[in-house]
Amino acid sequence: MVELIKRRTSSMKNDVMSGITVALALVPEAVAFSFVAGVDPLVGLYAAFIVGLITSLFGGRPGMISGATGALAVVMVSLVKEGNALGLALAHPVDNMGLQYLFATVILMGLIQVAAGAFKLGKFIRLIPHPVMLGFVNGLAIVIFLSQLNMFKNVDAGVSHWLQGTDLMTMGGLVLATMGIMFGLPKITRKIPAALTAILVVTALTLCLDLNVATVGSFIRDGGGEGLKGGLPAFQFQLFTTIPWSMETLVFIFPYAIILAGIGIIESLLTLNLLDEITETRGNTNRECVAQGAANIVTALFGGMGGCAMIGQSIINVNAGGRGRLSGVTAALALLCFILFGSAYIEQVPIAALTGIMFMVVIGTFAWSSLRIMFKIPKSDALVLITVSVLTVMFDLAVAVVAGIIMSALVFSWENALRIRARKRFKEDGTKVYEIWGPLFFGSTKMFISKFEVKDDPDQVEIDFTESRVSDYSGIEAISGIVEKYEKAGKQIRLKHLSTDCKKLLNKADTKYKSIILEKVDDPRYHVVADPNSFH
């Protein structure tokens, strides 16, 4: 009992400390993604709080962190722009009409995600091949890395330019100091969260030395914001009065809702699978879909931009010891406290410290093993891995994953289409037997048909499917076609060892198959052992 209490106390401590660390990293990311989407920083911060809280409490993966993400923000920016344009075309224009369209779209997005979970579509994440997973992880690591390079820029009179001289050296030094603490501290002790320690040490260092570096506060102001000043999220009553709820509105927001829902589900479930591997536990994909959808509906009703799982923060949380739901709840509540009470303090955290943390996330996220196995795996798998990585960087996660799945499916179909074989032999009575090996499906039907020599075959022919499996309706049609060819040639054909479902389909198509299909087959390869002691 004492050991159990100690373990639970230690787990709660790790969850709380890692949650606070994640909350510190969530602030600038939520602000940055808000600017990408073209909305006020508070819209992103409210999303990080509400989505993070609901998914932590009810999601399918304890320890996974959700909030506003860049993958969704890059889609939202065009939605907001088009929404503002539609608002100007109204008889009575309303300010920030694009934002109201965004909230409506996120609500519809959430409904789609809830439906996906309710119909148990989350299980289809298992169909994503491993090369696609590796490509997703590598591409996402590159995206995170490239996003952090913007932190090495300075904004002067509305124009951004790279840091130079002393400013660059100071920024680089603080980033390296952060990374050094995160790398070295766990080798000394794991009782102290490395990421949180790095943030506190680097912040104290910049304050003591009075270094002129970018902070969270200056980052928000440079982006056009007024700092972290806000109250509790308020219900968006104007959402139901400003938008014309009509078929035209639905036609406008529905495509965006589908895309956002797809990206959110894919990114969340891929992150869930990744954390499953890291923690050696198993999450619930359908429950996660429902929780993500419900969270997006609520956050839109209270002024948030919507969100999904965040792989970077999730890895920070898990690596810092946050494995339970308390870590996500702590992160969400700490973020709300920062918004309400701690804005003056959080604004003093150097961007360099958060950049250093994200660089360590990049190192931990990238599948370095993929570089070692690149020339050892099949060329098709290597091509899929590289393609998914590139598409993730160039476009977004949804496009990359869908393209990777399609490529893998085509490769699989082609390889299996080449595996079908037909061994030919003759019985004592002159009957020619075709023994089919390999899967019979849409990709292998032409090769299957090419195996038969209808004109040269004897009057009695049998096709044996003992080592073959008819996988789809194309295979059924191919069998029907072969039967018709032999019948037109005036020859008798019999089918052996067909699966039960295949027999039903053929008999349903034509009653003649009842005489063509051999139901009871004497097969010398199948026999009954009378004496079990004969095995040695």
pLDDT at 108: 95
Give 450-464 pLDDT, tens digit per residue.
999 999 999 999 999
Q: pLDDT tens digits, residue range 128-140?
A: 788 887 887 788 7
Mind listing the pLDDT tens digit for each residue in 15-29?
888 888 888 778 777
pTM greater than the 0.95 cutoff: no
Average pLDDT over residues 85-95: 65
Answer whether residue 376 shows pLDDT above 80. Answer: yes
As given in the structure block, the two tokens for residue 273 are: 């699978």
Q: In this structure, how many other beta carbons lie within 10 angstroms of the beta carbon of residue 502?
A: 21
Query: Mean per-residue pLDDT for 94-103?
Result: 82
Under CATH, which number does the domain 421-516 receive?
3.30.750.24
Please give the structure tokens belonging to residue 161. 């330019």
Strands 432-440 and 421-426, how do they pair? Answer: antiparallel
> Does residue 411 surpass a pLDDT of 80?
yes
Q: What is the pLDDT of residue 461?
A: 94
Q: Between residues 94 and 299, which one has the greater pLDDT?
A: 299
Token pair 């003591």 is found at 208
* Cα diameter, the chain: 100
Side chain identity at residue 359, one-letter code: F
CA nearest neighbour of 519 among 502, 501, 495 = 495
DSSP 350: B
Cα–Cα distance, 493 to 458 (Å, whole number): 10
Tell me what the mean pLDDT of segment 60-71 comes to. 87
Lowest-pLDDT choice from 28-32, 405-409, 440-444: 28-32
Q: Which two tokens stand for residue 108?
A: 């519809």
Percent share of the chain, pLDDT over 70: 89
CA distance 473 to 109: 35
CA Rg, the chain, in Å?
30
SS (H, E, C) 230-247: CCCCCCCCCHHHHCCCCH
Mean pLDDT, residues 178-203: 83
Phi/psi-derived region of residue 526, left when phi > 0, alpha when psi is between -120 and 50, beta in every other case: beta
Mean confidence (pLDDT) of the chain: 83
Q: Are 472 and 439 in contact (CB under 8 A)?
A: no
pLDDT of res. 109? 95
Q: How far apart are CA 33 and CA 41, in angstroms?
A: 8
CA distance 355 to 275: 22
Give the residue, 275 or 157, on which the prediction is more confident. Answer: 275
| DSSP line for 206-224 | HHHTT----BHHHHHHHTT
Residue type, 489: A
pLDDT at 157: 61
Most trustworthy range by pLDDT among 46-60, 92-106, 311-325: 46-60
The encoded tokens of residue 85 equal 């344009």
Domain extent listing, the chain: 2-164+214-350, 421-516
At residue 367, does pLDDT exceed 90? Answer: no
A 10 A CB-CB count for 250 gives 12
Most confident range (mean pLDDT) of 223-232, 326-335, 502-511 is 326-335
Q: Are 300 and 103 in contact (CB under 8 A)?
A: yes
Q: What is the model's pLDDT at position 356?
A: 86
Asked which of 156-170, 173-187, 223-237, 408-422 is least confident by mean pLDDT, the reply is 223-237
Q: Which of 19-28, 89-98, 357-366, 410-419 has maximum average pLDDT?
A: 410-419
Residue with tokens 């040695």: 536
79-93, 142-156, 262-276: which has the minimum mean pLDDT? 79-93
Residue holding tokens 């895309």? Answer: 259
Backbone angles phi, psi at 430, to 5 degrees: 95, -5
Residue 154 is classified by DSSP as E
The pLDDT of residue 526 is 40
